[in-house]
Amino acid sequence: MWRAMTEDDLAGVNAIAAVVHPGYPEDAAIFEERLALYPEGCQVLVATRDVLVATSGALAGYIVSHPWRDREPPPLNSLLGALPAQPSTYYIHDIALLPDARGAGVAKTIAAALIDHARQAGLPAVSLVAVNRSQAFWRRMGFQRVDDERLAAKLASYDGEACLMELRL
């Protein structure tokens, strides 16, 4: 079950990030800032019988997202300072699911909800940086790879296989 993230969840979010994204470390301040700037885009997955993890009721995943500028993904582990006054995309900063939570359709459910949120906000696109071999999942959700040489330095802060993907709404 997805629910709104709270400050009390941040330690669990950081623990999940360390397990799921060890090659893409981010300081705790990154998650704190995103939650403060755009709480509507921050949710946690709570383990239930359908999402099997060691302890029912424990956090099994999270998603962090916010309005942003098209084709300007923030570099890994960087503070935003503020959200743009006139955003041109809805940016999915991070989605992370513990291994036991995968395969139950929860990523598809939250991704669809975020796409709907972006539509309701009147944004023309949803974008993200795909890492950890997640491109196939995002393609199934309708996203396409964006090839833009100007993004090379920012994407390199993730790794050599990271790519910007977007869904035009």
Q: Tens digit of pLDDT for each residue in 106-162?
A: 999 999 999 999 999 999 999 999 988 899 999 999 999 998 888 888 888 787 888
The CATH number for 135's domain is 3.40.630.30
Give this prediction's pTM: 0.92
Range of the domain at 95: 2-168
Total of domains in the chain: 1
Distance CA 79, CA 33 (A): 7
Please determine, for residue 67, whether its predicted confidence score (pLDDT) is greater than 60: yes
